[in-house]
Structure 1
Amino acid sequence: MNASAAHHPVRGILYMMGALALFALLDTISKSLASRHPVAVVVWGRYFAHFLITLVVFLPRHGTALFKTRRPGLQVVRGMTLLGTTGAIVMAFQHMPLAEVTALVFVAPFLVMMLAVVFLGEKVAPWRWLPVVVGFSGVLLIARPSGSAFNVGVVSVLAGACCYAVYQILTRKLSAVDRSVTQLFYAALVGAATMCVLVPWFWVPGALDLRDWLMIGSLGVLGASSHLLMIMALRAAPATTLSPFTYAQLVWATLLGWLVFGDFPGSMSLAGMLIIVASGVVVAYSERFNRKA
């Protein structure tokens, strides 16, 4: 932790809240596009626009240092896990409401804790597994495997959450050797390059009108802006301080899902969302105390 991180927690929280609002807006636009166009086209637009904006913003400031990484192979793998996360979530948007998708993605911190034990050798006190178990009970309330709520969207978003958990583990490992801007650049590069190869198979000439192109462009602006705010937040305050506030994205997603798509979670889904949030906050605070111990 650097000195500045200890002195500006309020600023860091405000940056984080802004980033989460932009993430929720980005997901809202992605869901709208995915209702009319193939997933591959939406994901391509999201990454290609993000990549161009990243180059414009960071290349003049950092020059060729932006491309320098000590672990290029791991950066590619990390980029692919983020791409898998995005693709799975956009696919889930075609089948599920915005708020439920967002809530299920929040199982990722529980998965990260499990993976950190296996791959990073982190020690976890036995009592810290209780909120993980409780959190997965919230997932069952939303997904309801034996009921009508369970569909391909649930499978897709849970696969995306698994990819996102691996992405976070790789981010932890790479943070020790590469700068944040380098990680941001390679994530955008890998996603854009991969989708440029895949998107011709799904492209329908003339399918995108002016409004669609503007929406696709906004994905890049929102994606780059939200990631920049996230980086600024982590510079201003430690991750353990910010983690509990990440669940504000679920509030934004619920509000936008209701206003834009007319979707409001039912009682079972709301209960599951609250359980996931409560369990996630406990995991976040236990992480803080574990690091202090």
Structure 2
Amino acid sequence: MTDASNLRGALYMMASMASFTLNDACVKLLADDVPLFQIVFLRGLLTTALMAMTVAAFGRLSFRIPRGDRGRVIWRTVFEVAAMVFFLTALVNMAIANATAILSALPLTVTLAAALVFREPLGWRRLTAVGVGFAGVMMIVQPGTDGFNAYSLFALVAVLLITGREMATRSFSAEVPSSTVAVITAAAVCVFGGVASAFEPWAPIGWREAGLISLASVFIIGGYVFSILVMRVGQVGFTAPFRYTSLVFALVLGLAVFGEWPNALALCGAAVVMGTGIYTLLRERALRRAARHERDGAAHG
């Protein structure tokens, strides 16, 4: 990969994080006037249609999933739907920056889960980073203090569920079409939202609500497309740390749109989570490079 490719990859990663964070802001803006599951259902209808058309246009919509992977796809979908419920519930009841900061613990939880599930090596340095990172999460959650928001626990559960989703994804064989899995997931979220919304009164949809739902759908598609471009352009080890720009976007949107700003302890916790997450990603990159050099040396020896 050239420096120019890595730069494009970093820009795509930041665009992906901005898109997902803007989607969160649209949902949060809607939540005061429209029930949550009605939002999920209406956004899901548009998102699924747009995603299916986009994937089909590129000729990548194939539902030929190997038999051995079908159960894994189902489990991934279950994790995704459950994570959506917990995270959006947290999002509409707490500051967007705090919810995003808790979600930033994902690289740490995925690293730990990969070591437990797939027996991936986890040295003392990365294990220490995971422990320090979780201490940072507790600084954001602030249990037992006046700054504690019970919905922070929903965000923590969402982190665990997304970690489960990532483990299911890592277990896929190479024959599983990732774009099709994305369409299936979007459709499952839509169906769940439709069923759940039947148990709550619907709110009328005006031009403002329709516009925000449409924007949320477009932002989700944008986040998905940009995340794919990242994988095709830049090196994972270089682009992954730019995932933390989502917290910067959340801080800006929280202040500008919602008048929210985390307290000093939460900001320090967010900095700890970001720092340990970036260290973990860079450490994994260094270990992969060392392993590659060792293989190359053995091949030429």
What TM-score, normalized by structure 1, do the two folds share?
0.92
Q: Residue 174 of structure 2: which of 156, 164, 176 is its match?
A: 176
Question: Offset at 1:255?
Answer: 0.3
Match of 2:176, SS state, is coil
Matches within 5 A, 1:142-221: 142-174=140-172, 176-204=174-202, 206-221=203-218
Q: Aligned residues: percent identity? A: 25
* Cα pair 2:44 2:186 within 8 Å, conserved: yes
* Cα pair 1:45 1:219 within 8 Å, conserved: no
Q: 1:87 to 1:216 in 2, by over 3 A?
A: same
Tell me the equivalent position of 1:30: 27
Within 2, Cα distance between the matches of 1:283 and 1:203? 45
Question: Offset at 1:151?
Answer: 2.7
Within 1, Cα distance between the matches of 2:237 and 2:260? 32
Within 1, Cα distance between the matches of 2:209 and 2:4? 43
**Residue 224 (str. 1) matches residue 221 (str. 2):** yes
Question: Offset at 1:180?
Answer: 2.5
Give the count of matched residue pairs.
Answer: 288
Tell me the equivalent position of 1:268: 265
**Residue 55 (str. 1) matches residue 30 (str. 2):** no
Gaps of 5+ in 1: none
Match of 2:58, SS state, is helix
Tell me the equivalent position of 2:64: 68
Q: 1:212 to 1:175 in 2, by over 3 A?
A: farther
Within 1, Cα distance between the matches of 2:43 and 2:170? 24
Tell me the equivalent position of 1:246: 243
Matches within 5 A, 1:89-100: 89-100=87-98
> Larger C-alpha radius of gyration, 1 or 2?
2
Gaps of 5+ in 2: 292-301
Question: Offset at 1:6?
Answer: 9.2
Q: 1:177 to 1:6 in 2, by over 3 A?
A: farther
Query: What is the RMSD of the two structures over their aligned residues, measured on CA atoms?
Result: 1.9
Tell me the equivalent position of 2:124: 126
Within 2, Cα distance between the matches of 1:119 and 1:83? 22
